[in-house]
Structure formats: structure tokens, C-alpha cells
Structure 1
Amino acid sequence: MRDLLRRKPLLSNVASYGSLYVGAEFSQQTVIRAWDEECKDEPYDWKLMGRYAVYSMALAGPGLFYWFRWLDRKLPGKTFGTALKKVCADQLVSSTGCTTVFYVSMSVLEQKEDKFAELREKFWPTYKVSCCFWPPIQWLNFLFVPPQMRVITVGVASFVWCNILCIFKRTVQV
């Protein structure tokens, strides 16, 4: 794995991130089937998982790869102060951008008439939860994780985060 990360860092990070992201939607659908008798026999929504794959592998994964690279160049090191600056920048820039791109890209892929309706309705509730979820994870990420492993680390955390997004997407109605 380390050799692949060194030889093809973008590809390996994006593939890992995308697999974890799509896996989160798969797990979400599995849990819904287990808990809701009415959904028990419904087929998996592979088109929805495909949309999550497009978002995670074409947009979020590469975006995070280049974002962390840029952030590490602008704020090198792993000191307490540097990690704090990276966490603040990540929450203000990356989390805001990823949340925006998530809702708009999903609306585009779902061919919704108003591509920004879901963003207007769900951005602030989602962002507030992200302010509780991501800073502690990114704090650990920036202090202890080698730069080439950061997107994968975020991918593991995104497995949980994507389940949260799936809940927002399913429960907050536009």
C-alpha cells in the first residue's frame, strides 16, 4: 500500500476515499433495510451509490488531495499552532466548499430543476454538525498522520460523515 501511495498518490487516495464514501451509502441502505420493515425487500439504489461515487471520486477526493498538499506547503510542520491553523483553515474553506459541492453536484446528478434548493435548505444544519465532527478529526490528522495518508484518513472519517450526510439528505425535506 505504501508503495502505491508513493507511486500513484492521487489515484490511491481517490480510490480509497471513493470506496469508503460509497461504502457508507451502502451501509446506510443496509441499516435502513434492517430497521424499517417496509424497506426490507426493496432493492439497493445503485444509481444513488453511483452518484456518490461520482461526487467522491471525481470531485471530493481530488479536491481534498490537492487541498491538503497546498495546506501542507503553506503551513508546514506538525506543531500545536500549525495544526490549529490548519484545522481552522480546513473548517472554513474545505468543509464549506465540500458541503456546497456535495449538495449542488448531487442535485445536478439527480437532474433537479433547482440545483441550489437543497443547498439553501441543508447547508447550515449540515455545516453546524460538521463544526462538531471535523475539527477533532482534522486535529489528529494534522498532528499525527503523514501527509500522504491524510485523504485516506479523511476517507475513513468520511465513512461516518457520509452516513450523517445521507441522514440529512433523506430527512431534511426541500
Structure 2
Amino acid sequence: MLRWYVNYISNPISGASRSHTHILTIFHHRYQATLAKRPLLTQSIGSALLFGTGDILAQQAVDQVGLENHNYARTGRMALYGGAIFGPAATTWYKFLQRNVVMSTPGRTLVARVGADQLIFAPTHMFAFLSSMSILEGNDPLEKLRSSYWTGYKANLMIWPWVQAVNFRFVPLEHRVLVVNTVSLGWNCLLSLINSGK
């Protein structure tokens, strides 16, 4: 016991780091096991959590509305869209790309996958997102699309081709939605601001 205490006092960070590393390792193993058993459900839940978190960041860090003025219904709509629409759609889409978009070289395959993602999935996702949010808010989806679609899609083209090139090239299929969801914390914050007309 005395040896442990002396070691801890002389290097307190290592004891804390080992504890945090152990917790992260356990979380990683459980996530991997759940992802292997139920990939669609796991990725949909992750999408719901991160879409909701993106909206919280938009309201609290960007707009700085404070908790008393936080629009919880808006956060709920974002989480619902992430879990019910984006998570299942992205999971299915990435599997489709992996199986069906294979060219003669890895470089051509990468270009074709990023091109398909940005020319098919991204505009469809933007349409679905803005329409869904508008309907859930009780507003006219056509008006929302007219006012926000091109702004959102142009912002998408500034960020996502680069993210997806790295994602498709280096990340295993089963982790691609997680990578997108992680990058999406900032992106969903931006989407939420675009949707709210800021």
C-alpha cells in the first residue's frame, strides 16, 4: 500500500490516466460488441445522440440562449431525425457504396464513392432534413427548401467531400457512421442554425 501511495504521489497523472484508459477500453469493447450484434440500431442511437448534441451546441454555445430559453422541442426534433432517418439511411448507404461502387483501382473507387456520396446522398439528405424539420415544426416544407436548401448544400460541399475521402479511404465500414457522427457535432450545429434561419 505504501509503495502504491508513493508511486501515486510521485506520478498522480499515471494513476488517473490508467483509470480513464480502463474506462475507455471497457466502453470501446462494449460499443464494438453492440455494433457487431446490432449495427443499424447502434448507429441510429449514436446518430440521435449526436444530432441532439449538435443542436444543444447550436443553442448554447453559438446562440447562447441559456437553459431557461433552450428550445427542447427543437433538440428533440434533431435527435429524432438523426435516429430515425439519418442513422439508418447512412448505415445502409455506406454498405451499398462498399459493395457496389468498386472501380479498377483504389483511387478511382475512392473518387467514385465520394462523388456518389456528394451527388446522391448529400442532396437527398439535405432535402430530407429540411423537409422533415419543417413538417415537424408545423411549417411549409417548400418554403424551407426555397430559403435554406442551397445554403445548406453549398456548406456541405465545403466540408464533406474531404471528410468522406478520409472516411472511405482509411476507416473500416462499420465505423464510418461513427466518424460522420463525430464530425457532425459541428456540422449538425451548423445545420440546426441553417434550419432555424440564423
TM-score, length basis structure 1: 0.89
- Among 12, 31, 42, the alignment partner of 2:68 is 42
Evaluate the alpha carbon distance shift between residue 3 and residue 76 of structure 1 in structure 2; reply closer, same or farther with a 3 A threshold: farther
> RMSD over aligned Cα, in angstroms?
1.7
Among residues 126, 132, 136, which one is paired with 1:105 in the alignment? 132
How many residues align structurally? 167
Structure 2: where are the runs of 5+ without partners? 1-30
Instruction: With a CA cutoff of 8 Å and minimum separation of 6, indicate the structure with the bigger relative contact order.
Output: 1
Bigger-Rg structure (1/2):
2
Counterpart residue number, 1:11: 41
Runs of 4+ in 1 over 2 A off after TM superposition: 39-43, 169-172
What residue ranges of structure 1 are gaps of 5+ in the alignment? none
What residue in structure 2 maps to residue 132 of structure 1? 158
Q: How many angstroms apart in 2 are the aligned matches of 1:142 and 1:94?
A: 14
Distance apart, 1:171 and its partner CA? 3.5
1:72 to 98, 107, 115: 98
Aligned residues: percent identity?
29
The DSSP-based 3-state class of the residue aligned with 1:171 is coil
Aligned counterpart in structure 1 of residue 169 of structure 2, from 143, 149, 160:
143
Cα distance in 1 for partners of 2:67, 2:82 equals 28
Q: Is the 8 Å Cα contact of residues 133 and 195 (structure 2) preserved in structure 1?
A: no
CA deviation after TM superposition for structure 1 residue 40, in Å: 4.0
Alignment TM-score, normalising by the size of structure 2? 0.79
Work out the CA distance in 2 between the residues paired with 1:76 and 1:18: 30
| SS at 1:89 equivalent | helix
CA displacement, residues 49-94 of structure 1 (integer Å, 9 cap, x when unaligned): 1111111111111111111111111024892211111000000111
